[in-house]
């Protein structure tokens, strides 16, 4: 070993010991006859001291020539610091250096490698290997590591077997676009990278493995954002001979285990909410329950009063922001402009202030009497000091618009505390959703999701009303995981394919292997997949999953560090029987 200790472990009880450290030069402070060097490794920072009179001139000269990020080895005696630093664990000691060797000199880094850096996102992504030296970045990956270990510990204790599934698989329809890989030995044919190991984990249940899990890479060729990458990690799980309640209980247990062991947080009981209620009261299927502000429908109270915008609307609906009646006209105008942005798409915003003196003031006083507005306030359970915000329009659109406004108000009023965690199971999702573009139904989750048995007859008459045995785990308004009870017999699976628009030939070509497997005694089974990167971001208090991925892609799906994706040589293309023809 090139060191006897790390840069994070020396304390006062090591005084007078001779030690050897190795690491990177964090900074050099040169006072002429006195030089301090902060030496850093993964474990911490230790100060070296070189002092004229007790350090020979050659060593002092060597120390004066050190630069940031030089890799060095230093030996010396541990002494007590006269000027202690309580901000770091090694701040009570320093090393009186007796020798130093430069193991590798370094160019001046393109940005400061400290917690507070001057490097922008693109620059730090280009030099990601330098960015990873920063404590704030490394701590996020250490959190990820800890969560992986605790996941495996819990799953092993629950009798799950970790099984690796193939990365080169068959391209299948539905869901996002596949990344495809050409086959050299089968010209004109392609593998796909898995969007999830869905069919394989079901086949493992047919195989009798009973309980499977895998921390697995998945790939989706879709537009990117802060919580989405082209390659991402799932905790993928499947169980046999279970119903929905068994799965919710097991993975509620995993969630509580992670919060307790990794964050020291005792998680409360996980609430349940149907998809229908989530959409009705919060306008989306992943409501943030850290604050209330439920939707209140006002059709019965707001229509028929001569206000054309409300009278012609399919839905009039609003929220009550507690304690926000003091919002100024400027703040309310800003909110109005915010909801009218193209990203939100509302035509306007009506507000009612419930003043502290008990009076009600609104933008629609011309059409509604104080008695009318009092009825609104009663419907909202509003009190003096509250602010009621109302939108109207086509039902589905206005619910989405109000959902965004609710989240914005929660943010503005400081109600979305990152240190508060409100988990929720959303259940009873629709089995199918209508796609206007293709003019047919698509599986809301995937084609293997089981419909609720009592709803199966509706497939012929009202397919959009069929509920699925599907569930999502939501924490603080972020979908963390989702899954379902699966179809486990061939007739039901064929029925599902039929209603998804597959011909018998298409279903056989794409999924014949799975339907055949069902004929050899498939047990009832179900599972779930957690978005592991998103889970890490929730634990770390971040909006972006990129912080928890060692080498992430940018918003264009590009790794600017290794310049990927990139073109390949003509002879490689020829070997793969591929010709590239770009659209103009």
Question: Residues annotated in the binding site for ATP, as ranges?
Answer: 220-222, 229, 479, 531-534
Residues 6+ apart with CB under 8 A from 116: none
CB 94 within 8 A of CB 47: yes
Strand locations in 146-230, DSSP E? 161-162, 180-182, 190-192, 211-219
CB-CB neighbours of 556 under 10 Å? 8
Provide Rg for the chain, Cα atoms: 30
DSSP 285: S
Residues 6+ apart with CB under 8 A from 157: none
Give the β-pairing of 34-41 and 44-51.
antiparallel
DSSP 263: I
In the numeric block, which tokens belong to residue 59? 């060593």
The CA–CA distances, whole Å, from 79 to 49, 94, 95 equal 10, 6, 6
Strand locations in 105-246, DSSP E? 161-162, 180-182, 190-192, 211-219, 231-240
Give the β-pairing of 211-219 and 161-162.
parallel
Evaluate the CA torsion angle 493, 494, 495, 501 in order and state its sign: positive
Evaluate the CA torsion angle 64, 66, 68, 72 in order and state its sign: negative
Q: Is the peptide bond before 325 cis (omega within 30 degrees of 0)?
A: no
- How many Cα atoms sit within 13 Å of 303 on the Cβ side? 13
Percent helix, strand, coil in the chain, to 5, is: 30, 25, 40
CB-CB neighbours of 122 under 10 Å? 9
Within 417-531, where are the H helices? 458-461, 490-499, 504-518
CB 311 within 8 A of CB 373: no
- How many Cα atoms sit within 13 Å of 411 on the Cβ side? 8
Within 243-296, where are the H helices? 244-258, 275-282
Enumerate the known binding-site residues: 174, 220-222, 229, 445, 479, 486, 531-534
- Run of H or E residues at 26: strand 18-30
Give the integer Cα–Cα distance in Å for 174 and 301.
Answer: 43
CB 384 within 8 A of CB 354: yes
- Burial (Cβ within 10 Å: 0-12, 13-18, ≥19) of residue 214: buried
Enumerate the known binding-site residues for L-aspartate: 174, 220, 445, 486
């Amino acid at each position: 070993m090139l060191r006897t200790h790390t840069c994070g472990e020396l304390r006062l009880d090591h005084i007078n010991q001779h030690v050897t450290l190795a690491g990177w030069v964090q900074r050099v402070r040169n006072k002429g006859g006195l030089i301090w060097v902060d030496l850093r490794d993964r474990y911490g920072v230790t100060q070296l001291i070189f002092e004229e009179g007790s350090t020979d001139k050659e060593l002092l000269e060597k120390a004066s020539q050190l630069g940031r990020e030089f890799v060095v080895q230093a030996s010396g005696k541990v002494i007590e610091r006269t000027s202690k630093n309580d901000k770091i664990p090694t701040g009570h000691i320093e090393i009186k250096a007796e020798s130093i060797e430069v193991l590798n000199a370094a160019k001046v880094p393109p940005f400061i490698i400290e917690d507070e850096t001057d490097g922008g996102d693109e620059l730090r992504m280009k030099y990601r290997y330098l960015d990873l030296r920063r404590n704030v970045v490394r701590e996020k990956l250490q959190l990820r590591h800890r969560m992986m270990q605790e996941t495996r510990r819990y799953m092993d204790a629950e009798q799950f077997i970790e099984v690796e599934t193939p990365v080169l698989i068959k391209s299948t329809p539905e869901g996002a676009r596949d990344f495809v890989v050409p086959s050299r030995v089968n010209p004109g044919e392609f593998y796909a990278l898995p969007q999830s190991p869905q069919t394989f984990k079901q086949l493992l249940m047919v195989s009798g493995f009973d309980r499977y899990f895998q921390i697995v890479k998945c790939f989706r060729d879709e537009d990117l954002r802060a919580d989405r990458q082209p390659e991402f990690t799932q905790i993928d799980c499947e169980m046999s001979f279970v119903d929905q309640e068994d799965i919710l209980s097991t993975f509620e247990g995993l969630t509580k285990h992670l919060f307790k062991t990794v964050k020291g947080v005792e998680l409360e009981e996980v609430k349940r909410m149907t998809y229908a209620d989530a959409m009705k009261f919060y306008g989306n299927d992943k409501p943030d329950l850290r604050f209330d502000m439920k939707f209140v429908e006002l059709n019965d109270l707001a229509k028929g009063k001569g206000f054309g915008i409300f009278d012609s609307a399919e839905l009039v609906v609003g929220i009550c922001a507690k304690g926000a009646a003091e919002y100024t006209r400027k703040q309310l105008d800003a909110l109005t402009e915010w909801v009218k942005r193209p990203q939100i798409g509302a035509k306007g915003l009506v507000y009612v202030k419930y003043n502290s003196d008990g009076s009600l003031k609104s933008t629609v006083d011309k059409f509604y009497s104080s008695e009318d507005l009092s009825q609104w306030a009663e419907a909202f359970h509003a009190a003096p000091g509250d602010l009621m915000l109302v939108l109207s329009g086509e039902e589905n659109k206005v619910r989405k618009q109000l959902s965004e406004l609710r989240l914005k108000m929660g943010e503005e009023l400081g109600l979305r505390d990152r240190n508060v965690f409100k988990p929720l199971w959303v259940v009873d999702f629709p089995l199918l959703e209508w796609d206007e573009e293709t003019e047919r139904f698509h599986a809301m989750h995937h084609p293997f999701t089981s419909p609720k048995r009592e709803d199966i007859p509706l497939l012929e008459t009202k397919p959009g009303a069929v509920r699925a045995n599907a569930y999502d785990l939501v924490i603080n308004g972020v979908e963390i995981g989702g899954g379902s009870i699966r179809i486990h017999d061939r007739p039901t699976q064929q029925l599902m394919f039929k209603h998804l628009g597959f011909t018998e030939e298409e279903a056989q070509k794409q999924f014949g292997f799975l339907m055949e497997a069902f004929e050899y005694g498939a047990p009832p089974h179900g599972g779930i997949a957690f978005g592991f990167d998103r889970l890490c971001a929730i634990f770390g208090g971040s909006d972006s999953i990129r912080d928890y991925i060692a080498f992430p892609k940018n918003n264009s799906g590009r790794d600017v560090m290794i310049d990927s994706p990139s073109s390949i040589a003509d002879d490689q293309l020829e070997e793969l029987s591929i010709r590239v023809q770009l659209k103009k």
